[in-house]
Amino acid sequence: MTHQPVIPQDIQGNPVRVGLPMAMLAELTHRCPLACPYCSNPVELARVNSELTAAEWGDIFRQAADLGVLQVHLSGGEPASRRDLTEIAAAARDAGLYVNLITSGIGFTEARLRELDGIVDHVQLSLQGIDAEMADWISGYGGSFARKMQVAEWIGQIGFPLTLNAVVHRQNLDRLPEMIDLAERLGCRRIEVATVQFHGWADLNRRPLMPTLAQAQRAREIVNEARRRLRGRMVIDYVPADHHATYPKSCMGGWGSTGLNIAPDGVVLPCHAAQTIKGLEFDNIRDVRLAQIWQYGAAFNAFRGTAWLPEPCASCERREVDFGGCRCQAMAMANDPLATDPVCSRSSLNARLRAEAEAEAASDDIALVYRRMPKEKRT
């Protein structure tokens, strides 16, 4: 495949320099034992037989390091579902990358974790709830909480720096203080508290999961108080509920500006949900070098710069701050990837969106639509 040089432009028509990616998310597999109702895997999963091999990952990590990537996040699905995880992680390490493992913990034995000692620099462990009743219900996996706590103990014994990734929503947000306490007890250096993003699978679970405005406001107070109390000991990253915000976040720090994702089958994406955007063309790392894709790939250049921005973004003072918000959210909520992110208070769709979110948050429907993985056999 050939790529024509594309020069992104700003709103005045000046060329915009393409920066270097700092981080790469390596989705090793879409397989996962959990069935979270807010799963961020695409609706169309990559088949096991299409997954990149460990040798292919090794080549990708070298290309990424040459391109300027500093850290790789080994993710999924559940990376422990790959039997060759240690080999893959070692290849990332050999390429000189900082290696972060993102896991639910399910699938690890103590021996498998110990194999990663000296290879993996940091572990992020997901948290679905503060006790077995909540965590097993949300993850759709009986016994997950007990196993996760066992894995957390091994992580501490081995000495991996640990971040807890708590995904929060209406069902567990009232227990945020206990989540922060748990992170402290586990000796975490950081806890990331991220409110569910309602696109992809989570869109099917808006009624049971949408936080109330009161919860979102209280969560901010809890985070601010905990940040003061834990300063110098533990960092708290907080991703607030989009639907209650005034302005959207700068998703991915701006499209195609600092990070990229590799799907299990080698498709290279500007963000994990980019395949939900109709009409974008994606390259596969099996066909095109990573540097070419990053610089000239059609999907990567689709929303670079600010020349493409619609009104009211084009004349907004925040256009270089959030770049019109999240493209995947615009696709999901406005059915138009070029639209102003509807979570922005200046979007014409915002009033409707807020009214819907309020109605969903008031719902007493708690039936979850789980994300179960289809069973597949390697042939």
Among residues 312, 334, 356, 369, the one that binds ligand SF4 under rule CB under 6 A: 312
The answer to whether the CB of 305 falls within 8 A of the CB of 16 is yes
Partner in contact with 273, chosen from ligand SF4, ligand FES, none, beta carbon below 5 to 8 Å by kind: ligand FES
344 is in an annotated binding site: no
Q: Does 112 bind ligand SF4 (CB under 6 A)?
A: no
Partner in contact with 370, chosen from ligand SF4, ligand FES, none, beta carbon below 5 to 8 Å by kind: none
What is the Cα–Cα distance from 96 to 71, expressed in whole angstroms? Answer: 9
Residue closest to 216 by CA, chosen among 343, 327, 368, 38: 343
Compare residues 222 and 273 and give the one whose CB is closer to ligand FES: 273
Compare residues 105 and 264 and give the one whose CB is closer to ligand FES: 264
What are the percentages of helix, strand and coil residues in the chain, rounded to 5? Answer: 40, 15, 50
Q: Does 90 bind ligand FES (CB under 6 A)?
A: no
For the bound state, the minimum distance from the C-beta of residue 226 to ligand FES, rounded and expressed in Å, comes to 27
268-269 vs 259-262, strand pairing mode: antiparallel
Would you give the binding string for ligand SF4 spanning residues 5-34, x where CB under 6 A is met?
Answer: ------------------------------
Q: Does 39 bind ligand FES (CB under 6 A)?
A: no
Q: Does 73 bind ligand FES (CB under 6 A)?
A: no
DSSP letter string over 186-211?
TT-SEEEEEEPP-SGGGGGGHHHHPP
> 375 phi and psi, to 5 degrees?
-75, 135
Q: Does 332 bind ligand FES (CB under 6 A)?
A: no
**Residue 93, amino acid:** R
Touching ligand SF4, residues 325-344 (CB under 6 A):
325, 340-341, 344
Residue 349, SS3 per DSSP? coil
Q: Does 360 bind ligand SF4 (CB under 6 A)?
A: no
Residue closest to 302 by CA, chosen among 347, 337, 252: 337
For the bound state, the minimum distance from the C-beta of residue 322 to ligand FES, rounded and expressed in Å, comes to 11
What is the Cα–Cα distance from 326 to 337, expressed in whole angstroms? Answer: 9
The site that binds ligand FES (CB under 6 A) totals a number of residues, namely 8
For the bound state, the minimum distance from the C-beta of residue 166 to ligand FES, rounded and expressed in Å, comes to 19
For the bound state, the minimum distance from the C-beta of residue 148 to ligand SF4, rounded and expressed in Å, comes to 37
Among residues 64, 120, 151, 326, the one that binds ligand FES under rule CB under 6 A: 326
Partner in contact with 344, chosen from ligand FES, ligand SF4, none, beta carbon below 5 to 8 Å by kind: ligand SF4
Find the helix or strand (DSSP H, E) in which 151 lies.
helix 144-158
Candidate segments 202-210, 217-225, 251-259, 316-324, binder of ligand SF4 by CB under 6 A: 316-324
Long-range contacts of 279-284 (CB under 8 A, 24+ apart): 279/337, 280/337, 283/1
What is the Cα–Cα distance from 200 to 328, expressed in whole angstroms? Answer: 9
What is the Cα–Cα distance from 185 to 194, expressed in whole angstroms? Answer: 20
- Find tokens 């990053």 and name the residue: 294
328 is in an annotated binding site: no
What is the Cα–Cα distance from 358 to 349, expressed in whole angstroms? Answer: 14
Candidate segments 30-38, 120-128, 236-244, 318-326, binder of ligand SF4 by CB under 6 A: 318-326
271 is in an annotated binding site: no
Candidate segments 80-88, 160-168, 206-214, 322-330, binder of ligand SF4 by CB under 6 A: 322-330
Q: Does 252 bind ligand SF4 (CB under 6 A)?
A: no
Q: Does 247 bind ligand SF4 (CB under 6 A)?
A: yes
What is the Cα–Cα distance from 268 to 27, expressed in whole angstroms? Answer: 10
Q: How far is CA 78 from the centre of its chain?
A: 13
- Which residues are at the interface with ligand FES (CB under 6 A)? 251-252, 271, 273-274, 326-328
**What is the contact surface with ligand SF4 in residues (CB under 6 A)?**
247-248, 312-313, 316, 318-319, 322, 324-325, 340-341, 344, 346
Per the annotation, binding residues for [4Fe-4S] cluster are 32, 36, 39
